[in-house]
Amino acid sequence: MSRPTITPLSIALGAQISGIDISQPLCQEHRDVIEQALLEHQVLFFRDQPIDPAQQARFAGYFGDLHIHPIYPNVPEQPEVLVLDTAVTDVRDNAVWHTDVTFLPTPALGAVLSAKLLPAFGGDTLWASGIAAYEALSAPLKRLLEGLTATHDFTRSFPLERFGNTAEDLARWEQARRKNPPLSHPVIRTHPVSGRRSLFVNEGFTTRINELSESESEAILKLLFAHATRPEFTLRWRWQVNDVAFWDNRVTQHFAVDDYRPARRVMHRATVLGDVPFFR
């Protein structure tokens, strides 16, 4: 059995792993290596991993139960794997800094993203470390944010006017809206394994800080959204076909750069459910 190699990519986050074939069942040693690397580096990359949807779901399933997305299409024979295909679906909501499915009571632990079809150029994805962003805040601002909660709303990234244009789409959107009403999470989240603190608001789904007035909330969120995505907290990945990324969704945001139209981009994603966010 080969010994995995972990190559860090930046101080804030990111590492590339080689020496593990994720298309095959993972031994316990390799699972432990990946889990520890994810805790340390927050987003992991595997080059040249031509996995099919069943293999992708199996790999993601080692780390928790899988989510079926309420809006995006999926692979029919593997519904836990959603399809992000720019020829089929409007994916503009990915071209904003966001943390996946924070509109859920138990937002994702992480996600496994596989590159299937790429434009000749463009289409990179950026990740940002919520841990690095939190740790760079001043002590007074940390004290202000501790104990505050924020509302996360499904419709912020999935508005009716873009996702309800046919009878079938409207029925799907209305069902998703009923199942996912707005809810609250802490503004600062404690990682359930490492105990490290992270900013946990994102432009994709966070609408307001509940304990502040509307104007105060707007000002603080604007500041936090800008702060969280400062270049020194981020990493940019230039995809190659069959690359796989696995990120800790509890402490990161990401942004899929929409700079390749009219070329087509197809990605498959398996989302691992997490737990209820908390602060301590």
pLDDT in tens, 16-45: 999 999 999 999 999 999 999 999 999 999
69 has catalytic annotation? no
Q: Domain span at residue 105? A: 5-92+100-128+234-272
Looking at the structure, tell me whether residues 260 and 203 fall in a common domain: no
Number of domains in the chain: 2
Whether 87 is in a domain gets the answer: yes
Q: What is the CATH number of the domain that holds 255?
A: 3.60.130.10
Same domain, 183 and 108: no
> Residue 68 and residue 272: Cα distance in Å, rounded?
10
Is residue 38 domain-shared with residue 70, that is, in the same domain?
A: yes
Report the alpha-carbon distance of residue 227 to residue 241 in Å, rounded: 32
87/199 same-domain check: no
- Does the structure show a pLDDT above 80 at 92? no
Concerning whether 32 is annotated as a catalytic residue, the answer is no
Residues 137 and 124 in one domain: no
Of the candidates 98, 185, 208, 250, the residue annotated as catalytic is: 98
Q: Which residue in this structure is represented by tokens 């101080």?
A: 11
In the beta sheet, which residues pair with residue 61?
Answer: none
Higher pLDDT, 1 or 60: 60
Asked, for residue 279, whether it belongs to a domain, the answer is: no
* Same-domain check for residues 24 and 118: yes
Residue 277 lies inside a defined structural domain of this protein: no
Same domain, 265 and 180: no
pTM: 0.94
Residue-wise pLDDT tens digits, 170-209:
898 899 889 999 999 999 999 999 999 999 999 999 999 9
**Whether 100 is catalytic:** yes
Q: Is the predicted pLDDT of residue 94 greater than 80, yes or no?
A: no
Co-location of 251 and 268 in the same domain: yes
State the pLDDT at residue 1.
58
Helices (H), the chain: 28-41, 53-61, 130-135, 139-145, 160-163, 167-179, 214-228
3-class SS of residue 115: strand
* Active-site position among 100, 153, 243, 248: 100
Beta pairing, strands 183-186 & 149-152: antiparallel
